[in-house]
Amino acid sequence: MLLDAKIPKKIAILETTYAALRYSVVAPLEMELAETLEHYRGVPPAKAGLEWRKVTAGDRWGDSWMTAWLRGNVEVPIALDGQPVFLRAATGAGECMLLIDGTHRGVFDVNHPVRLLALQAVGGAVHEIHLEAYSGHTFPGTQPFDEPLVVAGGAPQDSGIAIGKGARTFDKVELVTERADVSAFLFELRALRQLSEALDESSLRRGKILAAMQQVFTAVYAKPEVVEEDVWRAGLAEARRVMRPLLEMKNGPTTPKFGIIGHSHIDTAWLWPIAETHRKLARTFSSILSLMDQYPDFKFTSSAAYHADVVRELYPEIFSRIQQRVKEGRWEINGAMWIEPDCNIPSGESFVRQCLVGQRATREMFGVTSDTLWQPDVFGYSAALPQILRGSGVEFFCTTKLGWNDTNHFPYDTFVWKGMDGSSVLSHFNLIHCWPDPETLIRAWKEVQHNDVQDRRLLTFGYGDGGGGPMAEMIEMGRLSQDLEGSPRAEYQSISEFMTGVRDEISNLPTWTGELYLELHRGTLTSIAPIKRGNRKCEFALRDAELAATIAALKYGAAYPASELLAQWKKVLLNQFHDILPGSSIARVNDEAITLFAECLTETQALGRRALETLAQGTGDGVLLTNSLSWERGGEIELTGLPTGAQPDVEGLVGQEFEDLDGVSKLAVTGLHLPSLGYQVASLAPLAAPPASAPFVVTEDAVETPFAKVRFDDYGRIVSFYDVASRRELVTKGGAFNAFLMGEDVPQAWDNWDIDRDQRLKLAPQTDLVERAVIAEGPLQLRIRQKHQIGGQSWLTQDIVFHATTARVDFDTAVDWKEKYQFLKVGFALDIHADTARHEIQFGHVTRSAHDNTTWDRAQFDVCAHKWTDISENGFGVTFLNDCKYACTIKDGEYRLSLIKSGRHPDPRGDEGRHRFAYALLPHAGGFSIENVVRPAYEFNLPPSATLSSQAGASFSLASVDAQNVIIESVKWAEDGGGFILRLYEAGRTGTHAVVKFGVPVTSVSETNLLEEDPTALEVSEGGVSLYLKAFEIKTLKVTV
pLDDT digits (tens, 9 = 90+) for 336-354: 999 999 999 999 999 999 9
Task: Report pLDDT for 599.
Answer: 99
Flag whether 191 is in a domain. yes
Residues of the chain with pLDDT under 70: 1-2, 148-159
Is 668 found in the same domain as 736?
A: no
Comparing C-alpha atoms, which of 912, 969, 915, 978 is closest to residue 942? 969
Task: Report pLDDT for 953.
Answer: 87
Which 3-state string (H, E, C) describes 788-832?
EEECCCEEEEEEEEEECCCCCEEEEEEEEECCCCEEEEEEEEECC
The enclosing domain of 1029 has a CATH number of 2.60.40.2220
Vertex 987: Cα angle to 982 and 993 (nearest 5): 70
Is 1032 found in the same domain as 963?
A: yes
Task: Report pLDDT for 148.
Answer: 64
Task: Report pLDDT for 158.
Answer: 45
Is 820 found in the same domain as 786?
A: yes
Of 558, 585, 616, the last residue of a domain is 616
Is 687 found in the same domain as 664?
A: yes
Comparing C-alpha atoms, which of 668, 649, 770 is closest to residue 715? 770
Is 743 found in the same domain as 886?
A: yes
Flag whether 445 is in a domain. no
Flag whether 322 is in a domain. no
Is 877 found in the same domain as 906?
A: yes
CA 569 to chain centre: 15
The enclosing domain of 603 has a CATH number of 1.20.1270.50
Is 971 found in the same domain as 867?
A: no
The predicted-structure confidence for 107-154, as pLDDT tens digits, reads as follows 999 999 999 999 999 999 999 999 999 999 998 899 998 876 544 344
8-state DSSP, 675 = P
The total of structural domains in the chain comes to 5
Of 220, 246, 272, the last residue of a domain is 246
Is 906 found in the same domain as 1041?
A: no
Query: Which letter, b or e, does each residue of 218-251 get, where b requires 16 or more Cβ atoms within 10 Å of its Cβ?
Result: ebbbeebeeeeeeebbbbbeebbebbeebbeeeb
Is 911 found in the same domain as 804?
A: yes
Which contiguous run of DSSP H or E holds residue 836? strand 836-841
Contact indicator for 92, 170 with CB cutoff of 8 Å? yes
Is 866 found in the same domain as 779?
A: yes
Flag whether 312 is in a domain. no
Measured distance CA(119)–CA(4) in Å, rounded: 42
8-state DSSP, 22 = S
At 11, which amino acid appears? I
Of 246, 265, 292, the last residue of a domain is 246
Flag whether 731 is in a domain. yes
The predicted-structure confidence for 67-82, as pLDDT tens digits, reads as follows 999 999 999 999 999 9
8-state DSSP, 670 = E
Is 710 found in the same domain as 672?
A: no
Which residues, other chains included, contact 943 with Cβ-Cβ below 8 Å and sequence gap of 6+? 637, 638, 639, 640
Measured distance CA(343)–CA(422) in Å, rounded: 19
Q: Is 181 exposed, middle or buried (0-12, 13-18, 19+ CB in 10 A)?
A: middle
Measured distance CA(1022)–CA(1004) in Å, rounded: 12
Contact indicator for 649, 683 with CB cutoff of 8 Å? yes
Is 1011 found in the same domain as 879?
A: no
Measured distance CA(1006)–CA(990) in Å, rounded: 23
Residue 96's DSSP bridge partners are 108, 133
Q: Angle at which helices 472-480 and 274-294 pack, to 10 degrees?
A: 50
Domain extent for 222: 7-22+179-246
Flag whether 367 is in a domain. no
Measured distance CA(365)–CA(371) in Å, rounded: 16
Flag whether 504 is in a domain. no
